Structure 1
Amino acid sequence: MEVVIQPSAEAIAVLVADAIERLLAAKPDAVLGLATGSSPLAVYDELARRCAAGRVSFARARAFMLDEYVGLPADHPERYRNVIDREFASRVDIPPDAVQGPDGNAEDLPAACAAYEAAIADAGGVDLQLLGIGTDGHIAFNEPGSSLASRTRLKTLTAQTRADNARFFGGDVGLVPRHCLTQGLATIMSARHLVLVATGRAKAEAVHQLVEGTVSARWPATIMQHHPHATVLLDDAAASGLQLAEYYRDAFAGKPAWQGL
């Protein structure tokens, strides 16, 4: 696992966009994994700027979302498919039908989960998966206690996650759905490159566990320690709980420029 500490979300976004730009230059039909929440927003802003400037094209790319709420109306602004369209897909040149998410309104939710797993496999798997992390250590909606071998499935959201997400629903936790469909931890681990972004002091303990803690379902993101190509990008506040922060800074500063993330 590579840990990269940067001064701001904007500096992090430049590095992540560089990695995606290099990937698409080498493989124009790459498969991207898209995350929602506040963590990836600066990345999407940077990619939109580069697409508008002609530096990068998503015209042949495909993308899969990490998760989706269950039961939100199709036109609800916080339905994750609409969030991804608003924050990313509508701002770049990716074809609308090239972005796929789990169907949170399916009549048969287990079948929808199985179909989503099959769709990812049929696409050849995800080349680069963008991730955030919850204050309780969840990635996607894999809450504490999630099986490290889990695949796409229905999950019940914890009170903490619903409280954290209430800001997207006007601060009313009662409006936050109780259930979601989410890629499992094993699904996420199947991606070829994991890129996790975390900013702010509220994420410091989860980041400390992710990077320096024991691999455990108590902190689901710790499974990333077993991935052969995982990158964790942090601002100073999110990195404030790391015991080896200076080592991580020195290691990144000493990397060959050609190596990238």
Structure 2
Amino acid sequence: MNAADAADVADAEAGRLVQGVQVVILPSAAEAEQHVATLFAEQLRRKPDSVLGLATGGTPVGVYRALVAAHRLGEADFGRARTFNLDEYAGVPSAHPQSYAAYMRTHLFDLVNLTPDRTHLPEGDAANAEDACRLYDALYRYYGPADLQLLGIGLNGHIGFNEPGFASAPGGTHVVRLDESTRRANARFFGADEQVPEYALTMSAGRILQARSIVLLATGAAKAAIVARALEGPIGTDCPASLLQLHPDATVVLDREAAGALAPERG
């Protein structure tokens, strides 16, 4: 599906507001991923020097694949863009194959015209993690906020690595202990003899909400319950993704399975 087709499908299914959040529901995961990629390509065309907020994990892989394809067709130029990732595992060097730095190189950075000096992630293996957080926060304050921020949603509602009940966390980039459910979900990316890191460096929810526009992508039936909680439930840190209800320009893009637990739209 090309960008125009994706936009046509989105137009047919968009227009639903849930608690002030624009919700786009598409027939399949591939179409949802393509739609999100189209939003990023359009952002780059409007503002070639955009600051892009990026995410990792299983959810964005199809988005990056579509962006790489758009770049090869001349439809997405990253030459003047700058990127900031949400998080990185603590104690994991950037050269490690399971680092998020390696993930980004594999899925996007090495496949488009982004130079390394314009891509930013927290330094996971810094000698002092707190200093690394302060440095990353300073970089983001200098270059940011993100013009467009990509998010996924964890099965427990986390955004970035802001786990439920983070009320006591600092306001900026910080070190967080990962919830056991998050570590179980991420174990599939590690070998049988590898341990999933216990800690990560992550942008705070407050930093994430500073982005000018946010798009959250969720696909698959496993995400349906938490999507419904985030969009239709009360705002609270027990479900960090619910904080998107506070953002003035947030869009949630879903396939039909991920939208399966949402209340029927009222006519």
Q: Same fold (TM over 0.5)?
A: yes
Q: 1:197 aligns to what?
A: 217
Report the equivalent of 1:21.
41
Following the alignment from structure 2 to structure 1, what is the Cα–Cα distance between the partners of residues 220 and 38?
22
CA RMSD of aligned residues (A): 1.5
Secondary structure at the aligned position of 1:231 is classed as: strand
Q: Distance between the aligned counterparts of 2:143 and 2:76, measured in 1?
A: 21
Q: Distance in 1 between matches of 2:78 and 2:242?
A: 31
Equivalent residue, structure 1, for 2:191:
170
Q: Secondary structure at the match of 1:115?
A: helix
Whether 1:156 aligns to 2:195 is no
- Pick the aligned partner of 1:113 from 106, 109, 133: 133
Summarize deviations over 1:97-135 as a string: whole Å, max 9, x none. Answer: 211001111112112111111101111311000000000
Is 2:58 the partner of 1:38? Answer: yes
Of 198, 203, 206, which residue of structure 2 is paired with 1:186?
206
Q: One-letter code of the match for 1:35?
A: A
Aligned twin of 2:94: 74
1:62-100 alpha-carbon deviations (Å, 9 max, x no partner): 000100001123321110011011011111111122110
1:154 is matched by which residue type in structure 2?
V
Secondary structure, counterpart of 1:15 in structure 2: helix
Q: Is 1:130–1:194's contact at 8 Å kept on the other side of the alignment?
A: yes
The equivalent residue for 1:122 is 142
- Report the 3-state secondary structure (helix = DSSP H, G, I; strand = E; otherwise coil) of the residue aligned with 1:68: strand
CA contact (8 A) 1:39 1:198 kept: yes
Compute the TM-score of the two structures, normalised by the length of structure 2.
Answer: 0.88
Determine if contact 1:156/1:179 at 8 Å carries over to the other structure.
yes
SS at match of 1:162: helix
Q: Distance in 1 between matches of 2:170 and 2:224?
A: 26
The letter of the residue matching 1:175 is: Q
CA distance in 2, matches of 1:50, 1:163: 33
Residues of 1 paired with 2:37 and 2:91: CA distance?
Answer: 33
The structural deviation recorded for 1:149 is: 7.2
- Measure, in 2, the Cα distance between the counterparts of 1:149 and 1:23: 30
Separation in 1, partners of 2:87, 2:94: 15
2:78 aligns to what? 58
Alignment gaps of 5+ in structure 2? 1-20
Task: Mark the runs of 5 or more structure 1 residues left unpaired by the alignment.
Answer: 251-261
Comparing 214-223 with 15-24, greater Cα deviation is found at 15-24
Deviation at 1:57, TM superposition (A): 0.3
Match of 1:79, as an amino acid? S
Structure 2 distance, partners of 1:84, 1:101, is: 10
- The SS at the match of 2:56 is coil
TM-score (normalised: structure 1): 0.90
- Aligned residue in 2 for 1:207: 227
Choose the corresponding residue for 1:104, options 117, 120, 124. Answer: 124
Greater CA drift, 209-218 or 108-117: 108-117
Measure how far apart 1:151 and its partner are: 1.9
Residue identity matched to 2:81: A
Which aligned pairs between 1:80-99 and structure 2 lie closer than 5 A? 80-99=100-119
The answer to whether the Cα contact below 8 Å between 2:172 and 2:203 also exists between their aligned partners in 1 is yes
Once the two structures are aligned, what percentage of the paired residues are identical?
44
- Read off the aligned partner of 1:141 and give its amino acid letter: F
Read off the aligned partner of 2:187 and give its amino acid letter: A
Residues 224-253 of structure 1, C-alpha deviations (whole Å, 9 max, x = no match): 000000000111111111013x45xx8xxx
Give the partner amino acid of 2:181: Q
1:16 CA displacement: 1.4
Aligned length: 246
